[in-house]
Structure 1
Amino acid sequence: MGRARGGLAGLLTATAISQVGNVVALVALPWFVLETTGSAARTGLTAFATTVPLAAGAIGAGPLVDRLGPRRTAVLADLGAACAIGAIPLAHAAGRLHFGLLLALAFAAGAFEAPGRTARRSLLPALAVQSGTSLERANAVATVTEHLGYLIGAPLAGVLIGVVGAAGSLWLDAGSYAVSALITITTVAVAGARAGRPPVLAGLRFVRSSPIIRTFFVIWTAGAFLVTPLSAVLLPVYARERFGGAAALAAMVTALGAGGLIGALAFSVAARRLPRRPAFLTMWIVYPLLTCLLIGLPPIVPALLVLAAIGVVTGGYDPLEVTIHQENTPEELRPQVFAVLLAAEMTAVPLAMLTYGLLIDVAGLRAATALYAAGNVLLGAYAITARPARRLDRPRTSTSFTA
């Protein structure tokens, strides 16, 4: 039991450390592009180059995890991402970093991240069961580590940008991937390739055949298009145009992370007693209303309060949704189903980055923020009215699938 708990703790620690580095990059990379080019469109294009390979990588991630095993895949993915991210400040220091090379390295980093995410998501349910931890609690703790990354990484990025510059700050992201790989190697029990791997398209067939997974597939994908550009495109431009500095951007991302941490902690405490359907409804009513408050581009203090509140709702919702994915997916299909979900998410994200970046250049920040809010209102209406999502509290009798 102690070793099993160590495996779960190791996986969560590795994820947390890499997340801190990712948040530093989330602040530093768009700021570097805005600082050197002054273009919101190029900022969106850089985010596009970082995320679009995740979609392609995720398509093959399920079979890859089946073949190599989730532990080995997670380690190799972390090491590959460390090399790609580390090459950015290295090329910058050598005076060789032009915009095309930056896009190529960002693309390479994203290509390694997809198999790593799929592998870690596949490892978590088994490690939770082995350690005697409920899925709700394990997913809530995983969400806590994600938002701790925002809480620690965002102010750290503001300091690092001021001290070593935006490009130099990316060394932390590269190092965090390397440390994550080391922790995974030394703490997570070996999980090799399984015999009798399911067919390549089994995950896609299961998503299509399961009403509840299909419904959450829509929410997951549309949510990725609508939510991700907030911190990656909207907030950098918001901070630059209205408040004039990286410190404001770091404060905004920190507010999101702090709110998310509070929401995830609250869910981890109340998860076993929380009635799912009422919680689901409350989250999808409150969250869209909060996004509407950003349309007016409020001053820094009200903006931070709204962003913190958005973080609270999303921090509580994320582990609930992931738990539903896990509970309703057969264990043998989890790598492939999670890869399908990740592929859909990462197809939506780069398109959103380009859309929002171009919209800001053409119509302005306020118009892009209005699109963000309107889309979330429509998504909330779909989530509330979707019939399969009305049965969240019904006990699940079995999960079976025939490929």
Structure 2
Amino acid sequence: MKRPATAAGATGLVRALYLPRTADALALAMSTYGIPLVVLATTNSAALTGLAFTLEWVPRLAAFGGAGALVDRYGSRTVFVLASLARALVLAAGAAVLAVHPDGRAASATVMVLAASTGVLAEVSYLATETAGAAVAREAGERAHRVQGTLLGIDQSATMAGPALAGLLLAAGAPQMLAVVTVCSALASLFARRTPLAEPTSAAAGASVGSPSGGLRAGLRTVRSLPALAWLVAGLAASNLATGFLQAAGPVMVTEHYGRSATAAGLVWSAAAAATLVAVTTCRFAIDRAGLWRVGASCAILASLACLATARAPGYRSYLVLVAVLMAAEGGMAIVLRTVRARLIPTDAAASTLAATILILLSPFPLAGLLTALTPPDLLGHVLAACAVLQAIGLATAFTRLRSEPAARI
């Protein structure tokens, strides 16, 4: 196995890991938040917006089993390059169709297909960079949380810029937005081709894609064999139901409850990403002083309180601030997850186990889309409050179980 680029210092890490991750994260953020906005603007239907969100996430979840096995067998660089290039080609084709058919059924069908296909390819490329990042974090030892914090900071910076940029580009037209996402995907593929990322282990390379050692089933078994990781992932999955519902219902709540534009809906998540970026930077230093578990538990309490308050936000500004606080707390918990995960997951099936954890964490998102589609707009706040209660229970259980875990100590 080729070693990660930590030996080359900061410059090597930037070229080998951080630069491709930045381009890929920006493409992911723009498509994730931009496509539902296109659906809402085209159909003016809350139900179809929720269904589009579900359609965007279900294929992503289905792709994780095969993606983990592919990365374990062929290596993170090869899978990342091919997935990013394929996504660029799909987006370019979609932009061309929407340029000819800007509205109507053809446009709606094209956007739905793009949501499904780009979602699959985005998760494959994301898993490849996560695998490389986990390898670097393992090599970093006691500084693993700093590597994971940097990766999370890249993701949040992209999430900060992506929704706002997508909203602005949509004012010019959907083809223009998709063209920019195409360029980001192509650049991600180009950057990754120039620099080596982590390659597969000899054991993984010798296994077939469908073998138990390289499949999602093996990853789930590994998660079950690590109780601390299993409880943490389960608790964060419960939390993701609340945040997923906020993402799916956000455009409807902002436009119908608060009377703002679709661009304002995108700005909510840009502001949330900015707050998360600050929180991630702060948590990296806080963990050095207070420890991993204490920082994570504090973030869990803050996230639960903020989500409950968001369900009763009286106006757009308070809604924006509370969502930002919630997502900032989620960012702190993400550092805990990434660090614990990097320390506990065995190296011989790293990608498959990562795929299993990500699958569990993302499984609430399509459910959140269905809840949005089935809930009348005037009842969205009540459903969010119920999700917040589940979030609080899940996080309390997870961090109580994690308290005595050695991997959560720094």
- TM-score between both structures, scaled by the size of structure 1: 0.89
**Corresponding residue of 1:399:** none
Structure 2 vs 1, CA of residues 13 and 394 (structure 1 numbering), >3 Å: closer, same or farther? closer
CA distance in 2, matches of 1:379, 1:147: 24
Greater CA deviation, 93-102 or 177-186? 93-102
Aligned counterpart in structure 2 of residue 142 of structure 1, from 151, 154, 162: 151
CA distance in 2, matches of 1:346, 1:70: 21
**Residues 280-291 of structure 1 mapped to structure 2, 5 A cutoff:** 280-291=296-307
RMSD of aligned alpha carbons:
2.4
CA distance in 1, matches of 2:41, 2:90: 22
Q: CA deviation digits over 1:36-71, x for unaligned, max 9?
A: 111111111111111111111101122111221111
Aligned counterpart in structure 2 of residue 93 of structure 1, from 73, 93, 99: 99
Aligned counterpart in structure 1 of residue 25 of structure 2, from 1, 4, 19: 19
Q: Give 3-state SS (helix, strand or coil) of 2:101's partner.
A: coil
Structure 2 vs 1, CA of residues 28 and 217 (structure 1 numbering), >3 Å: closer, same or farther? closer
CA distance in 2, matches of 1:279, 1:320: 8
Can you give the 5+ residue segments of structure 2 that lack an aligned partner in the other structure? 1-5, 208-212
CA distance in 1, matches of 2:276, 2:24: 17
**Residues 61-76 of structure 1 mapped to structure 2, 5 A cutoff:** 61-76=67-82
Q: Does 1:301 align with 2:309?
A: no
Q: Does 1:168 align with 2:167?
A: no
Structure 2 vs 1, CA of residues 21 and 316 (structure 1 numbering), >3 Å: closer, same or farther? same
CA distance in 2, matches of 1:302, 1:395: 34
Can you give the 5+ residue segments of structure 1 that lack an aligned partner in the other structure? 397-403
Q: Give 3-state SS (helix, strand or coil) of 1:318's partner.
A: helix
Q: Does 1:45 align with 2:54?
A: no
CA distance in 2, matches of 1:394, 1:2: 24
Q: Does 1:9 align with 2:19?
A: no
Matched-pair contact (CA < 8 Å) for 2:38–2:174: yes
Q: CA deviation digits over 1:128-161, x for unaligned, max 9?
A: 4567882100110111111111222233223222
Greater CA deviation, 289-298 or 91-100? 91-100
Matched-pair contact (CA < 8 Å) for 2:80–2:128: yes
CA distance in 1, matches of 2:222, 2:407: 20
Matched-pair contact (CA < 8 Å) for 2:239–2:394: yes
Q: Give 3-state SS (helix, strand or coil) of 1:52's partner.
A: helix
- Percent identical across equivalent pairs? 25
Q: Give 3-state SS (helix, strand or coil) of 2:312's partner.
A: coil
CA distance in 2, matches of 1:190, 1:395: 25
Greater CA deviation, 64-73 or 110-119? 110-119
Q: Does 1:310 align with 2:326?
A: yes
**Corresponding residue of 1:334:** 350
CA distance in 2, matches of 1:135, 1:66: 21
Q: Does 1:181 align with 2:196?
A: no
Paired residue type of 1:141? T
**Residues 3-402 of structure 1 mapped to structure 2, 5 A cutoff:** 3=8, 5-10=10-15, 11-95=17-101, 97-128=106-137, 134-162=143-171, 164-189=172-197, 191-192=199-200, 194-195=202-203, 196-197=206-207, 198=213, 200=215, 201-231=217-247, 233-241=248-256, 242-361=258-377, 364-385=379-400, 387=401, 389-393=402-406
How many residues in Structure 1 have an aligned counterpart in Structure 2? 391
1:384 deviates by 4.0
Matched-pair contact (CA < 8 Å) for 1:359–1:367: no
Matched-pair contact (CA < 8 Å) for 2:52–2:115: yes
CA distance in 2, matches of 1:133, 1:9: 20
Structure 2 vs 1, CA of residues 246 and 100 (structure 1 numbering), >3 Å: closer, same or farther? closer
Paired residue type of 1:293? A
**Corresponding residue of 1:400:** none
Structure 2 vs 1, CA of residues 133 and 170 (structure 1 numbering), >3 Å: closer, same or farther? farther
CA distance in 2, matches of 1:66, 1:380: 31
CA distance in 2, matches of 1:67, 1:376: 36
Greater CA deviation, 43-52 or 367-376? 367-376
Structure 2 vs 1, CA of residues 395 and 157 (structure 1 numbering), >3 Å: closer, same or farther? closer
Q: CA deviation digits over 1:248-299, x for unaligned, max 9?
A: 2132112111110011111223333332232222122111111111122322
Matched-pair contact (CA < 8 Å) for 2:340–2:407: no
1:183 deviates by 1.0
Greater CA deviation, 207-216 or 99-108? 99-108
CA distance in 2, matches of 1:225, 1:394: 26
- TM-score between both structures, scaled by the size of structure 2: 0.87
